[in-house]
Amino acid sequence: MESKLIFEDKEIIIPGAKNSILPIIAASLLIRGKTEIKNVSKLEDIQNMLKIIIKLGVKVEFSNGNLLINASKINNLNPDSKLVKKLRASFLIFGPLLFRNKQVKIAKPGGCSIGSRKIDLHLKGLKSFSCSIEENDFIKGNLLNPVPVNLELDYPSVGATEHLISLATVVPGISKLSNAAIEPEVLDLVEFLKSAGANIKQKGTTFVIKGADLHSTSFTPIPDRIFTATWIVTALLKRKNIQLINFNYDLLGSFFETLKELGVLIEVNNGIINIICPKELKPFYIKTGSFPAFPTDIQPFMAVLACTIKGKSIIEETIFENRFAYVNELNKIGANIKIEGNRLIINYSKLTGGTVIGKDLRGTMALYLASLISSKPFIIKNKNYINRGYENFEVEL
């Protein structure tokens, strides 16, 4: 059954999670057969990822939310640099291509500029599979005889975990990856790989993977929890209630627990979650972190919400060094937010008109949410960042 949200008498289907679908598309290159992914929305990041694999010779059909990938044949070994630089997740095709072709040369990935976004953990992990790597403007790799790994990640990076688990599923022998990320999107990728025949066992933050041949599969990803949180914050900004149907509470557990501290009432009953907003919300403190801590992707929306709450709220960002680019923009239209190192101190303020500039996907969405509470219309430059993660947002929101 699909997951939905109901707000102001509108019923909206929650799309499959972007951050599950991107690594799944990369992992589909490990399958010499067909991959079907359901409930996929036409996001810019997904379309760019598909353009990258189409140029490699992979067959793709994408209509009505149904994505069909056939990676039986890959006949071009040079991923298009211009496209690769458009999104961070493009680098996740490096491992699968090495497995398929033994040799790969790929440009360094791009993506939202929210921090240094290194790839050292990916490369260190790939080297343990006996991959030789040369790094300059491009990353060149050779992987003749992959060996299984026993690896402890220095940091539970989401992307590195996804990259290394995917490769380990097809490397003969037993690999072990500890201190791994366990974000819901990582576990969803694991479920996808299992549906294609992978042998993966998880205990806490450790994954044990026995190499196997992967086969064709059909998979429905989890609902997008960041999309869902965007709508919940929209409702709270309007001091209105919102209902989620067939949505697993744990996907947004720390977010829901924080909302309770704000005074929001959350009723969970048989897969239905009622989020009931009081007239006045209380100021809050949040600290972002790896799952199950508060998700960094929701932090910018909470800053906008804090502007509507009397008292001082604090947001501490621990994942990315540069995820406050939207703050100066909010201050330009009347917000009262101070940046102190990796903390934001946010006081109640009335937002007015002006011009703001989007700098990354979630930060630009935060500016868009600000328009819901501002007393005058304002101009958002670079609003196209939002298309990376939301389809038809202007119509829907």
With CB under 6 A as the contact rule, which of the stretches 56-64, 177-185, 238-246, 325-333 interacts with ligand EPZ? 177-185
What is the rounded CA–CA span in Å between residue 252 and residue 301? Answer: 14
Catalytic hit among 112, 131, 277, 307: 112
DSSP letter for 113, please: -
What is the rounded CA–CA span in Å between residue 225 and residue 17? Answer: 7
Binding-site member from 26, 143, 158, 264 for ligand EPZ (CB under 6 A): 158
What is the rounded CA–CA span in Å between residue 145 and residue 96? Answer: 14
Helix H or strand E encompassing 66: strand 66-70
Q: Smallest gap, in angstroms, from Cβ of residue 353 to ligand EPZ?
A: 27
Contact of 200 with 193, CB cutoff 8 Å? yes
Residues 6+ positions from 53 with CB-CB distance below 8 Å:
25, 28, 29, 60, 69, 71, 93
Query: Which residue's entry shows tokens 């924080």?
Result: 258
Residue 254 within binding range of ligand EPZ, rule CB under 6 A: no
Residue 188 within binding range of ligand EPZ, rule CB under 6 A: no
Q: How would you classify the pairing of strands 34-37 and 217-219?
A: parallel
Tokens of 235: 């409702």
What is the rounded CA–CA span in Å between residue 236 and residue 204? Answer: 34
Q: Smallest gap, in angstroms, from Cβ of residue 388 to ligand EPZ?
A: 8
DSSP letter for 292, please: T
What is the rounded CA–CA span in Å between residue 198 and residue 211? Answer: 7
Residue 119 within binding range of ligand EPZ, rule CB under 6 A: yes
Residue nearest to ligand EPZ (CB): 159
Residue 41 within binding range of ligand EPZ, rule CB under 6 A: no
Which residues from 136-155 bind ligand EPZ, rule CB under 6 A? Answer: 155
Q: Which is nearer to ligand EPZ, 313 or 364 (CB)?
A: 364
Draw the binding track, 282-301, toward ligand EPZ (x: CB under 6 A; -: no contact). --------------xx----
Q: Smallest gap, in angstroms, from Cβ of residue 109 to ligand EPZ?
A: 9
Binding-site member from 207, 247, 284, 320 for ligand EPZ (CB under 6 A): 320
Q: Is 307 a catalytic residue?
A: no
Contact of 261 with 37, CB cutoff 8 Å? no
Q: Smallest gap, in angstroms, from Cβ of residue 346 to ligand EPZ?
A: 20
Give the catalytic positions in this structure: 112
Query: Where does this chain bind ligand EPZ (CB under 6 A)?
Result: 19, 22, 88-89, 112, 115-122, 155, 157-160, 181, 183, 185, 296-297, 319-320, 361-362, 389
